[in-house]
A and B are shown apart, each in its own frame.
Chain A
Amino acid sequence: MAVAERLGQVPAEKLRNWVWQLEVCNACRYCEGYCAVFPALERRRTFTLADIDYLANLCFDCRACYYACMFAPPHEFGVNIPQMLSEVRRETYARYALPAVFTRLLASNWLAVSGLLLLSALFFLAVVAATGDPGRLFEAHVGPGAFYRVIPYALMSGPALVLSLVGLVLLVGGGVRFWWRTRGSVADYVSLGALLRAASDALGLRYLTGGGAGGCTYPGERPSFARFVLHHLVFWGFISAFVATTAAYIQQDFLGWYPPYPWLSVPVITGSLGGIAMIVGCAGLLYLKGRSDREPADAGLLRMDTLFLGLLLLINVTGLALLLLRETPAMGSLLVLHLATVFALYFVLPYSKFAHFVYRYAALVQNRLEERREAARAGH
């Protein structure tokens, strides 16, 4: 099992400390009302690295357990579950991604991502230069097909399609590896009930509510729904933008209506609503992260979160600027800039914080399956 060995590379002393903390939890159990992690922990008497990977991705980092813990530092027991699980989560993003080295290279490295941005921008500038008069970059274009007079459609959508498909395959691959390793079996997928309940847990951000405590203890020890609301804005903003892209694709390729689309059209309305939601959500989350308590945090994961949110913010700001200034001579430059950020994001997607939904969903499904097995046992 070469893969299993490679996935299991964690220094023995570190693993011992993680297991110790989880055993303190298991002997206490005061936190079992907060989220799914603690009931899942109570189903186990011993903890392997695979168990810890699973628990880490079941954790939404609400931090309630840290502030409620009598044994948190500076207590000599040194229990800091959110920090430990954040560290493990960051590690799982690297260990399960394909190829893993890209996560370590791209996930939290602004220099590498800036390089990617620059390369993408150079690519589109080269496209402009190679497909006609470069001066058109600085002229106003209006009417159907205006954008494609700056960057030809095939060169805009072709690479994007390839990158996103490859990204999707890599994400699914990581998820399958994770599922296999954390004791799931293929047969488990058959449970539609578990898949649906886990989807509802994920879409409802069930574990960012503090189990009825009035939100998660974030950025400080007072419960708040701020993070819950902002995360919803980012997610549903993303979905809205996806709807916009799909609608634009249908309008162009099936109905033959070429962009730019009027203000009162499905792509523009859903796109701009989604964009605004993501801008507010990303900016808000970045603000909260800036103010957040560093004690229960993992510095590496914080950098990873910040980079992904920053990139997403940049895309939406450039996208919205493009929409507002699409009839001015600034359109060409903004289009290049926007496309460069989109390409950079597509490239880092499987190695960024974006990947968290794959592992989290897999963990939520596993949790629902375990709950069902436990209930079945209790029923007999």
Chain B
Amino acid sequence: MAGEPRYDVIVVGGGNAALNAALAARHHTERVLLLERAPAWMRGGNSRHTRDIRAAHDGIPRYTTGTYPVEEFLDDLQRVGGGRADPELARLVVRESKTLFQWMSEHGVRWQPALKGTLHLSRTNLFFLGGGKALVNTYYQTAARMGVEVRYEACVDELLLDGARVEGVVVKRDGAREVLRARAVVVASGGFEANLGWLKEYWGEAAENYIVRGTPYNDGLVLRLLIDYGAEVVGDPRAFHGVALDARAPKFDGGIVTRLDSVPFGIVVNQHCQRFYDEGEDFWPKRYAIWGGLIARQPGQIAYSIFDARMLDQFITSLYRPYEAPTIRELAVQLGLDPEALHATVETYNRHASRTGTFNPAVLDDCATRGLTPPKSHWAVPIEVPPFYAYPLRTGVTFTYMGVRVDERTRVQLKAGPPMANLFAAGEIMSGNILSSGYLAGFGLTIGTVFGRIAGREAARYGRG
């Protein structure tokens, strides 16, 4: 032992889970340090791109519509998670979510009344005013007021591990390394979705063509340290949440604005001009998350959403202008596709498209293709009114599922032996315990807030003996 550690609790990470851990720890102990890897302007990890949090409630006037019982939340989770979650932890997070409105309000978060255009989430999800960066700013301000020490551009590149105990961390900054000792450590440093090298281990060169929707700092360095030390892994390493994005989006941190909602309003082809999936299977909010994976499996990891002039105003404005041409062949030339092949695919689709149904984007309408493979089940009207439009699509990776196993106190579990005594994990780095496939909008923040709070409290209690 090198004498009294300088800190009671060190929190590794700077997003929602880390901030909640730091705030909770500070309620129970004095010396709390938060290490954010990013510079201040980019603090907050992927939390800065969030907008709302899923929470069970008995009705919160002004900010939600109706009620969202715990049982219904659990059912929703069961449906998307396929039942592979740790049932104890799933029940814990859902039950605790009922306290989040009050907890967050007490720590400065302000809310937005349920508004239009929010994917019909106004009953199940709470929208914080201004979105994720405002949320993160508020938490940093509250942390400063409560006396939490914060360091930016502090990259943890070593955990001081000894058996089932952690003694502290080593921080690298400007080429210098500094040892910081603490009685307990919380890791809340996210997944590895921004580490294309790591993704390549599972996806090969295809991963080079993925776009990372959030922060470039989620390279999973701390997750890797824990796995190498022998932490038990949960979640499929290949699994990630991926959506269809405009291919012109920046490689990192394009956030919400590069998403595209055009898919159900036309057809989607790969670079050989072939369709590959039912574009009208269900409402877009229920399907957008499978398209990232679909595109990832296409040659060159690219696809093209093709639609006609009638559909241009049917979906929310996107950031980039669509390609536009008077004929399908000329559109193909602009996209670098084979004009005859694209023309043939559209002709084939048009022959099988619905001419008698009533197009209605508000319902699962009766416009389905007949005798076409793959089918288009709804909104399948011909693409025939010029000008014709196209958006190029790529896979946008939102987050990864693989993480470390924790117990109900968020202690990191090793493959052999007891759980780590004073090393706790919260947020995306352990979300695989609860969710190993699929997603519920706003649930990442629920996990981060609930388990961040538990981790911070447990770490502080351990620190006090």
Task: Report A's interface with B, CB cutoff 8 A.
Answer: 23-24, 26-34, 42, 45, 64-65, 67-72, 74-77, 210-214, 221-222
User: 24 A–B contact pairs at CB < 8 A?
Assistant: A23-B317, A27-B256, A27-B258, A27-B318, A28-B256, A30-B134, A33-B112, A33-B129, A34-B129, A45-B313, A64-B134, A67-B133, A67-B134, A68-B131, A68-B134, A68-B137, A70-B133, A70-B253, A70-B255, A74-B41, A76-B250, A213-B110, A213-B134, A221-B141
Q: In the complex, which of the residues A30, A33, A77 has the most CB atoms of chain B within 10 Å of its own CB atom?
A: A30
Query: A73 CB to closest chain B CB, in angstroms?
Result: 8
- In chain B, positions 250-271 with a C-beta closer than 8 Å to chain A are 250, 253, 255-259
Instruction: Identify A45's interface contact among B49, B110, B115, B317, CB under 8 A.
Output: B317
Given contacts A33-B129, A68-B137, 9 further A-B contacts (CB under 8 A): A32-B112, A65-B130, A70-B132, A71-B255, A74-B41, A77-B257, A210-B129, A213-B110, A213-B134
Query: B146 CB to closest chain A CB, in angstroms?
Result: 14
Q: In the assembly, what is the distance between CA of A24 and CA of B254, in Å?
A: 10
Q: Is the CB of B110 within 8 A of A26?
A: no
How many chain B residues touch A (CB < 8 A): the figure is 31
Query: A244 CB to closest chain B CB, in angstroms?
Result: 40
Instruction: Identify B316's interface contact among A24, A27, A69, A76, CB under 8 A.
Output: A27
Q: Is the CB of B253 within 8 A of A75?
A: yes
Query: A25 CB to closest chain B CB, in angstroms?
Result: 9
Number of A-B contacts (CB under 8 A): 80
Q: In the assembly, what is the distance between CA of A33 and CA of B110, in Å?
A: 10
- In chain B, positions 70-112 with a C-beta closer than 8 Å to chain A are 110-112
Q: Is the CB of B255 within 8 A of A28?
A: yes
Residue of B nearest to A34 (CB): B130
Q: A70-B255, A213-B110 are in contact. Are A31 and B131 (CB under 8 A)?
A: yes
Residues of B within 8 Å of A65, CB to CB, are: 130
Nearest 9 A/B pairs, CB to CB: A30-B131, A68-B130, A33-B112, A68-B134, A27-B257, A27-B319, A33-B129, A28-B257, A213-B110
Q: In the assembly, what is the distance between CA of A211 and CA of B110, in Å?
A: 9
Residues of B within 8 Å of A210, CB to CB, are: 129
Interface status of B37 (Cβ within 8 A of chain A): no
Interface status of B417 (Cβ within 8 A of chain A): no
Instruction: Identify A29's interface contact among B49, B117, B133, B318, CB under 8 A.
Output: B117
Q: Is the CB of A27 within 8 A of B317?
A: yes
Q: In the assembly, what is the distance between CA of A12 and CA of B49, in Å?
A: 31
- In chain B, positions 310-349 with a C-beta closer than 8 Å to chain A are 313, 316-319
Query: B400 CB to closest chain A CB, in angstroms?
Result: 20
Q: A23-B319, A31-B130, A74-B41 are in contact. Are A222 and B141 (CB under 8 A)?
A: yes
What 1/0 flags go to B220-259 for Cβ under 8 Å of A? 0000000000000000000000000000001001011111
Residues of B within 8 Å of A213, CB to CB, are: 110, 129-130, 134
What 1/0 flags go to B277-318 for Cβ under 8 Å of A? 000000000000000000000000000000000000100111
Query: B145 CB to closest chain A CB, in angstroms?
Result: 10
Q: Is the CB of A211 within 8 A of B112?
A: yes
Instruction: Identify A221's interface contact among B112, B137, B317, CB under 8 A.
Output: B137
Interface status of B51 (Cβ within 8 A of chain A): yes
Q: In the assembly, what is the distance between CA of A212 and CA of B379, in Å?
A: 41
Query: A35 CB to closest chain B CB, in angstroms?
Result: 11
Q: In the assembly, what is the distance between CA of A214 and CA of B255, in Å?
A: 27
Q: In the assembly, what is the distance between CA of A213 and CA of B112, in Å?
A: 9
Interface status of B418 (Cβ within 8 A of chain A): no
Q: In the assembly, what is the distance between CA of A68 and CA of B131, in Å?
A: 7
Q: In the assembly, what is the distance between CA of A24 and CA of B257, in Å?
A: 6
Residue of B nearest to A223 (CB): B110
Q: In the complex, which of the residues B129, B133, B141, B317 has the most CB atoms of chain A within 10 Å of its own CB atom?
A: B129
Query: B212 CB to closest chain A CB, in angstroms?
Result: 14
Interface status of B113 (Cβ within 8 A of chain A): yes
Q: In the complex, which of the residues B41, B132, B141, B319 has the most CB atoms of chain A within 10 Å of its own CB atom?
A: B319
Q: In the assembly, what is the distance between CA of A33 and CA of B48, in Å?
A: 17
- In chain B, positions 47-75 with a C-beta closer than 8 Å to chain A are 48-49, 51
